[in-house]
């Protein structure tokens, strides 16, 4: 803990203080979390054990689903448990752990989305060189770089959090720990730290979003050379991907590229990228895919 801190624990305000609404939150988000966990783990197991799904696209989908399951687990269980708890207490160390896990798996998901868009770009725009460019070795190296990048980003968040002294109020007006809510509780001038957060998390979100949009624009631009069936399939895929990317990155950009001010919609916005996107990703990226559904059917029928 920071040497000048006198706070050993924080109280999470939660999503709401209304008892009836808290019961609704418990039921709704327990269902959403279990559905998210089951859908993503089903995809992970299917891709892991199915020989049909050995292409780079499914290699990256494996890590996206794994990241989604972990990313949702960093916030949803705490929200669910606190909805029926009288005391929503989280220790200082638990708070730092949640910040690290949240940013690690959030960054991992961001980087995997970029890798997936790169894979689609090569598949559609450079089909003759696809197997050479997206070899197993290169895909493995790219995923390892994503792990390293996520670790560096998360450690930077922890470094900034350790710089914050807490000596007064300890109520976090949110349902999970993050640097923005903590800035309001720190007994110091947080202007510089907030700038560092914007340059770190905000820049990652903004640059990643721009890269993804540019990649999909290039893909759509190249569809003129495809057959009618190929254009239809690629357009459907890109539309789905752009939908998920928008739902994930726009709330992140709204959260991490602004001064440490509080808005009434902050908690609702956070739901989109912490709980909503991990649920939508399996539906949009994978479960609409005929190959994945056929592989699931064959795999689980053989197991049963």
pLDDT at 2: 44
- Write out the residue range of the structural domain in which residue 156 sits: 9-303
Over the chain, what is the mean pLDDT?
Answer: 86
Q: What is the DSSP letter of 121?
A: H
Confidence band of 210 (pLDDT split at 50, 70, 90): very high
Q: Is 215 exposed, middle or buried (0-12, 13-18, 19+ CB in 10 A)?
A: buried
Q: Is residue 98 a contact partner of residue 195, using CB atoms and an 8 Å limit?
A: no
**Can you give the CATH number for the domain in which 114 is found?**
1.20.1070.10
Give 250-304 pLDDT, tens digit per residue: 999 988 988 777 777 888 899 988 998 899 888 887 766 777 777 777 777 776 5
In a domain, 42, yes or no: yes
pLDDT for position 304? 57
The residue with greater pLDDT, 28 or 286, is: 28
Write the DSSP assignment of 228-259 as a string of letters. Answer: HHHHHHHHHHHHHHHHHHHHHHHHHHHHHSS-
Q: Does residue 92 fall inside a structural domain?
A: yes
Residue partners of 171: CB distance under 8 A and separation at least 6: 10, 11, 13, 185
Asked if residue 49 belongs to a domain, the reply is yes
Structural domain includes residue 4: no
Q: Is residue 27 part of a domain?
A: yes
Would you say 109 and 52 are in contact if contact means Cβ atoms under 8 Å apart? no
Lowest-pLDDT range of 13-17, 160-164, 170-174, 203-207: 13-17
Residue 34 lies in a domain: yes
Q: Is residue 2 one of the residues assigned to a domain?
A: no
Residue 286 CA, chain-centre distance (Å), reads 16
| Residue 271: φ, ψ to 5° | -60, -35
pLDDT category at 79 given cuts 50, 70, 90 is very high
Domain count, the chain: 1
User: What DSSP character marks residue 190?
Assistant: -
Higher pLDDT, 289 or 38: 38
Q: How is residue 95 written in tokens? A: 């708070």
The pLDDT of residue 87 is above 80: yes
Judge whether residue 225 has pLDDT over 80.
Answer: no
91: β partners: 9
Identify whether 1 is part of a domain: no
171 φ, ψ to 5°?
Answer: -95, 115
Tokens 């792990």: give the residue: 147
* Residue 3 pLDDT exceeds 50: no
pLDDT the model gives residue 288: 64
Bridge partners of 181, per DSSP, are none
Percentage of the chain modeled with pLDDT above 70: 91
- pLDDT tier at 1 (50, 70, 90 boundaries)? very low
DSSP conformation class of 285: I
CA dist 237 and 232 (Å) reads 9
**What does the DSSP 8-state code read for residue 288?**
T
Tens-place pLDDT, residues 100-132:
999 999 999 999 999 988 998 888 888 888 889
The whole-number average pLDDT for the span 204-208 is: 91
């Amino acid at each position: 803990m920071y040497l000048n801190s006198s706070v050993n624990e924080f109280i999470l305000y939660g999503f709401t203080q209304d008892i009836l609404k808290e019961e609704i939150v418990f039921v709704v988000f327990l269902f959403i979390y279990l559905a998210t966990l089951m859908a993503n783990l089903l995809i992970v197991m299917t891709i892991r054990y199915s020989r049909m799904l050995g292409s780079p696209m499914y290699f990256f989908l494996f890590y996206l689903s794994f990241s989604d399951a972990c990313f949702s687990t960093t916030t949803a269980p705490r929200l669910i448990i606190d909805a029926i708890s009288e005391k929503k207490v989280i220790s200082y160390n638990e708070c730092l752990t949640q910040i690290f896990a949240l940013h690690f798996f959030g960054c991992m998901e961001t980087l995997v989305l970029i890798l997936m868009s790169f894979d689609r770009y090569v598949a559609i725009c450079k089909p003759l060189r696809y197997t050479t460019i997206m070899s197993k070795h290169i895909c493995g190296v790219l995923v390892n770089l994503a792990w390293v990048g996520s670790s560096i980003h998360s450690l930077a968040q922890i470094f900034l959090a350790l710089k914050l002294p807490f000596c007064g109020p300890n109520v976090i007006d949110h349902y999970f720990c993050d640097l923005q809510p903590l800035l309001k509780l720190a007994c110091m001038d947080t202007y510089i730290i907030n700038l560092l957060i914007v340059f770190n998390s905000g820049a990652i979100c903004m640059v990643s979003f721009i890269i993804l949009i540019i990649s999909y624009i290039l893909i759509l631009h190249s569809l003129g050379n495809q057959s009618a069936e190929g254009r239809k399939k690629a357009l459907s895929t890109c539309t789905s991907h752009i939908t998920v990317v928008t739902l994930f990155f726009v709330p992140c950009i709204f959260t991490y590229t602004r001064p440490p001010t509080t808005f009434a919609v902050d908690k609702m916005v956070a739901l989109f990228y912490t709980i909503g996107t991990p649920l939508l990703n399996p539906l949009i990226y994978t479960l609409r895919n005929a190959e994945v559904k056929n592989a699931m059917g064959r795999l689980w029928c053989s197991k049963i």
